[in-house]
Amino acid sequence: MTTVQVQLEPAKRASTSFWHAAWYRYRRNRLSVVAGAVALVILVVAVVAPWVAPYREATIDLTHVLARPTWHHWLGTDEIGRDTLTRLIWGDQTSMSVAIGAPLVGALIGLPLGILGGWFGGALDWVVLRLIELFTMVPTILAALLFITVFGVSVWKLALFIGITLWVGFARLARAQYLALRDRDFVQAARAGGVPTWRIILVHILPNAAGPVIVYFVQQIPYTIFTAAGFSFLGLGIQDPTPDWGKMINDAETYLATDPLLVFVPVVAIALACLSFSFVGDGLRDALDPTSK
């Protein structure tokens, strides 16, 4: 036997998977790391809101109306004496529910459609494309407004309505990814190996398409926060007593001149949330883009 044994370089470091390498690249971007920490705090606070908020969600204290910050009310109170910090924390839960929920709905609808269209092509792809075109023609905001008017609003309905407007992007992205990956040699190799189609779609292609999908998902979060806040500000979003950042701005608008802190707090919260998720998205894009390697 004349086979040549190939010596590999001695393993100096542990084998690096794609995700390890991505994490390494992400870590090098300071701004994204800081933004990631902020986003994480925002998310954690949203989850643990019932335990960290100083007061009950809808506690009204008419003896302390429009109070300045005190030891009892760190960020003051609003026109009916609700603690602003409490509202901020509960509003975080509302905002994040919508901000994560809506892209989730979009992904759940869009990804399967895009994957099926991109992988199988033909008539199925034709139908998916026409659906995408149809939904692209309808102005998304107007569609969401229409749903709100017809079906009313709650946190979960809002996530659903905005999510429905987001599926097109997910479908497009998944379709493009699957189209591009379908003819790659490693997919052909899997087919040649007799790997069942469902396994090729889920085990071989999905992990390769995951990077761009995750990035897109995160990029939709600030968009959703903004849209939801916009609806609330117009009075069409979340209704009392559920605390919501957009609603807080709307309520406080009247007191802008006398009590600017009331407006300032939710505005800063929205800006911080949008910016942090936005920078996380940028960092993820750079970290997960295989071409940047």
Interface ranges with another protein (CB under 8 A): 1-8, 11, 15-18, 184-186, 188-196, 199, 204, 207-208, 290
Please say which residue, 130 or 199, places its beta carbon nearer to another protein. Answer: 199
The CA distance from 120 to 124, in Å, is 7
Please say which residue, 16 or 154, places its beta carbon nearer to another protein. Answer: 16
Q: How far is the CB of 61 from another protein (least distance, A)?
A: 56
Output the CA angle 216-222-228, nearest 5 degrees. 120
Q: How far is the CB of 110 from another protein (least distance, A)?
A: 22
The CA distance from 132 to 144, in Å, is 17
Q: What angle, 0 to 180 degrees and rounded to 10, lies between the N-to-C axes of helices 84-120 and 245-252?
A: 130
Q: How far is the CB of 170 from another protein (least distance, A)?
A: 20
Q: Which two tokens stand for residue 252?
A: 């406080």
3-class SS of residue 149: helix
Please say which residue, 153 or 284, places its beta carbon nearer to another protein. Answer: 284
C-alpha dist (Å) from residue 75 to 39, 66, 81, 128, 208: 21, 10, 12, 50, 46
Q: How far is the CB of 10 from another protein (least distance, A)?
A: 10
DSSP string, 3-45: PPPPPPPP--SPPPPHHHHHHHHHHT-HHHHHHHHHHHHHHHH
The answer to whether the beta carbons of residues 230 and 223 sit under 8 Å apart is no
Q: How far is the CB of 200 from another protein (least distance, A)?
A: 10
Q: How far is the CB of 8 from another protein (least distance, A)?
A: 6
The answer to whether the beta carbons of residues 98 and 224 sit under 8 Å apart is yes
Please say which residue, 122 or 152, places its beta carbon nearer to another protein. Answer: 122
Please say which residue, 56 or 199, places its beta carbon nearer to another protein. Answer: 199
The CA distance from 220 to 165, in Å, is 11
Please say which residue, 258 or 292, places its beta carbon nearer to another protein. Answer: 292
Please say which residue, 8 or 137, places its beta carbon nearer to another protein. Answer: 8
Q: How far is the CB of 205 from another protein (least distance, A)?
A: 9
